[in-house]
Chains A and B, each alone.
Chain A
Amino acid sequence: MNMIQAINSAMDVMMARDPDVIVMGEDVGFFGGVFRATAGLQKKYGKTRVFDTPITETGIIGVAIGMGAYGLRPVPEIQFADYIYPGLDQLVSEAARLRYRSAGEFTAPLTVRSPFGGGIFGGQTHSQSPEGIFTHVSGLKTVVPATPYDAKGLLIAAIEDNDPVIFFEPKRIYNGPFDGHWDKPAKNWSGHPGGEVPTGYYRIPLGKANIVRAGEALTILAYGTMVHVCRAVVEEAGVDAEIIDLRTLLPLDIDTIEESVRKTGRCMIVHEATKTSGFGAELSALVQERCFYSLEAPIERVTGFDTPYPHSLEWAYFPGPVRIGEAIKKIMKDA
């Protein structure tokens, strides 16, 4: 399966298992979604469980919260993460706090799916990575899968979770892993172990990272598309780096991170999002606080620049093989 099919399969599995799971969003019904993630679901489960919505993100999230309060388990889609901001008040002020402010009487068991990340010439409003906005909010969980296998298992876990989950889908790797070499032919998921996806039910627990490459020289923390880019760079550079795919940003798998950095003594953080106050800053602070005496070099952050996401200069902006390669040289120079 590619990642779209895996995500579709996760919703299919959950809708079949639980009559309270409903799917809603712009163009998700009859049409099956602008990325085809919900294709076939309306036909299979009917219009009252899979339906199109008006173009209002605050409405989509607000209505989903009300449905959750009734007892449903809504899976709303925001067409692009870049368009999640109109729904921010409902997510931050309502979904995230409902359990806390009602002392557990009302909950918001929703899973907000949204395509995210760049690398597709999406320009300013089809490329953003706003995860740092959500990891800053107490009460939300934030998930970013890097393979079809993970996408399905994590999405099932997110839908089953009783807390609100922001589920960001890196659209650059919907159809195949991307190693950062934009000028080479695109690959698809067939042949990649992450593309082997069981058709039935399985789950990957939230809050558990995945060591995608074991190594001794350096720890690389990444998620989404950047997992694949980092892996390609590491293999090209011949560095024995340990690459950790975080999978869930909040709650974070701190044990796996600590164990790795204590072993390697070096830590590099890679994300597409802009640098300042990005999630990498939190990761860097945590590693510094908890692994200070193991560190042999300053922690490196390789990220998007602090600019809006550009159109024509995309590959200069995107933290690709050259920038990551230079950062590896820098962090390894005293090794």
Chain B
Amino acid sequence: MASETRANLKPLSLHVPEPKFRPGDEVDFADVEVPPAGAARRPDTADRADSFTELAYTLVRVLDDDGKAVGPWDPKLSPEVLRRMLRAMALTRAYDERMFRAQRQGKTSFYMKCTGEEAVAVAAAFALDRDDMCFPSYRQQGLLIARDWDLVDMMNQVYSNKGDRLEGKQLPIMYSTKEGSFFSISGNLATQYPQAVGWAMASASKGDTRIAATWCGEGSTAEGDFHSACTFASVYRAPVILNVVNNQWAISSFSGFAGAEATTFAARAIGYGIAGLRVDGNDALAVYAATQWAAERARTNQGATLIEHFTYRAEGHSTSDDPSQYRSAQEYGAWPLGDPIVRLKQHLIGLREWDEERQAAMDKELAEKVRAAQKEAEKNGILGHGLHQPLDTLFEGVYEEMPWHLREQQRQMLAEEQASGRPWARK
């Protein structure tokens, strides 16, 4: 009988991943493999995806420990472009600092920083054309900033004030601007992935030359939409760049819960037969070079590229999160890939195109710029001061034309406002 023979077998055990370090632990990242900068080869953009699969397991790195750009992926950007990139990254950080504090001051309900991940969005934006369509997650505010989007406009959204282009309908940071080629952010994870592929397919089917790019975190790769997007991207050779920002953490879950113990996220590309690159996400030049390479593949009908940006989420998941409850406070300090802004700054200094004085002056100028923008935005009101949109806008935009049942509910709400004796709306 089966039960008798099974008595000789060792019992099965269930593996539940556990991060290496928990609060209070000493951190040692010695086992995080960091290949030397310049070591990864750069295939021709016309090469078949299956001819460079090793690039999904290494790290494309350009900036070495001394901040020198080395190897075949060096995009050889002019000092002027490098300085603009550095500035956009620093501005992103300054903006985050200010908005985080605004949330703590009760000026808005919610905020999410991208500290430590500025290169992932900013350098990519520099490598894309401005009318390439971005389908971001909630942690790529650097795309807007790199595209010189108006900070006041962004803040208006965070404050849900009367200048908010989204009419107070969306949670703070869920930006959207068609003019900025920045697709409406959704709270539902990874849904933007197949949408980006569809946009890219549409561009291809129309004989357009624009491409799409999308971003999700490593945690979101576990969603079914990630799989369907990769399948569609592969099947139709969609001109799309699929970015996975592996910042090691999905709220409190370490990347092992998305499968990182077994393989890399870039290696997912291999199974779909699309190009896969694993990139040092704190190396702005590597991010730029990989994006530029993937964009060239897309624009020459070579199809999609999946880029894993290996980085670290330096701060809490959001203003509602306290990372000290689940990870060691030492982690970010010990992270072997450093800080993307510091690394690009050192590179420019090494080129004698920048110095600490100019950096300090720029930081001061950017802080002032953000402060001025904040003052300007706050003239339109802050969330803490109540409602800023005319009440009846609540019902607008559900459909192109308002059906009778929404008109009825709109009338009911306005009657409630009148009955309350204290007008809710400040028009």
Contact = CB atoms under 8 A, between A and B. Distances in A.
Contacts of B178: 102, 105-106
Contacts of B196: 66
B403 A100 contact: no
Interface in A27-66: 48-49, 53-54, 56, 58-59, 61-66
Interface string B99-125: 000000000000000000000000000
Contacts of B231: 54, 56, 59
Closest 3 CB pairs of A and B: A66-B198, A62-B194, A59-B228
A33 B296 CA distance: 36
A65 B188 contact: no
A252 B399 CA distance: 14
B293 interface: no
Contacts of A86: 224
A98 interface: yes
Given A63-B198, A66-B197, A94-B186, A103 B169 contact: yes
A24 to B, nearest CB: 9
Nearest to B208: A70
A60 B405 CA distance: 30
A145 interface: no
Given A54-B232, A65-B198, A138-B398, A90 B167 contact: no
Contacts of B227: 56
A58 B228 contact: yes
A22 interface: yes
A70 B196 CA distance: 10
A72 B202 CA distance: 7
Interface of B: 133, 135, 165-167, 169-170, 174, 176-178, 183-184, 186-188, 191, 193-203, 205-206, 212, 224-225, 227-229, 231-232, 235, 397-400, 403-405
17 contacts: A56-B228, A56-B231, A56-B232, A62-B229, A63-B198, A65-B194, A66-B195, A66-B212, A67-B198, A67-B199, A69-B198, A93-B188, A102-B166, A103-B166, A105-B176, A141-B399, A207-B403
Contacts of A66: 135, 194-202, 212
Interface string A85-109: 0100110011001111111111100
A104 B231 CA distance: 30
A298 interface: no
Given A63-B201, A69-B195, A100 B188 contact: no
A272 interface: no
A242 interface: no
Contacts of B224: 56, 58, 86
A273 to B, nearest CB: 20
Contacts of A69: 133, 183, 195, 198-199
A100 B10 CA distance: 57
B176 A48 contact: no
Contacts of A98: 184
Nearest to A71: B202
Given A98-B184, A99-B397, 14 more contacts: A61-B194, A66-B199, A66-B212, A89-B225, A90-B194, A99-B398, A100-B398, A101-B174, A101-B176, A105-B177, A106-B178, A163-B399, A207-B403, A254-B405
A194 interface: no
A63 B232 contact: yes
B225 to A, nearest CB: 6
Contacts of A48: 205
Contacts of B197: 62-63, 66
Contact of A58 (B133, B194, B404): B194
A139 interface: yes
A85 B202 CA distance: 25
Nearest to A206: B403
Contacts of A161: 400
Nearest to B236: A51
B399 A99 contact: yes
Contacts of A49: 205
Among B169, B195, B196, max chain A CB count under 10 A is at B195
B404 A54 contact: no
A62 B397 contact: no
A248 to B, nearest CB: 10
B404 A106 contact: no
Given A86-B224, A104-B397, A105-B177, A63 B405 contact: no
Nearest to A252: B405
Given A56-B231, A103-B166, A67 B202 contact: yes
B194 A63 contact: yes
Given A69-B183, A99-B399, A251-B405, A59 B169 contact: no
B174 A62 contact: no
A264 B341 CA distance: 75
Contacts of B405: 251-252, 254
A94 B195 contact: yes
Q: Which of B174, B177, B399, B403 has the most CB of A within 10 A?
A: B399
A101 B166 contact: yes
Contact of B403 (A90, A93, A251): A251
Contacts of B201: 63, 66-67
Nearest to A141: B399
A294 interface: no
Contact of B397 (A64, A72, A103, A207): A103
B37 to A, nearest CB: 36
Contacts of A67: 198-199, 201-202
Nearest to A54: B231
A53 B165 CA distance: 36
A163 B176 contact: no
A71 B210 CA distance: 13
B195 A100 contact: no
A288 interface: no
A282 to B, nearest CB: 10
Given A48-B205, A54-B228, A58-B224, A101 B194 contact: no
A65 B195 contact: yes
The listed residue with most A CB atoms (<10 A of its CB), out of B133, B135, B177, B225, is B225
A62 B227 CA distance: 12
B138 to A, nearest CB: 13
Max chain B Cβ within 10 angstroms of own Cβ: one of A67, A102, A162: A102
Contacts of A63: 194-195, 197-198, 201, 232
Contacts of A101: 166, 169-170, 174, 176, 184, 186
A93 B225 CA distance: 13
B228 A89 contact: no
A279 B330 CA distance: 56
Contacts of B229: 59, 62
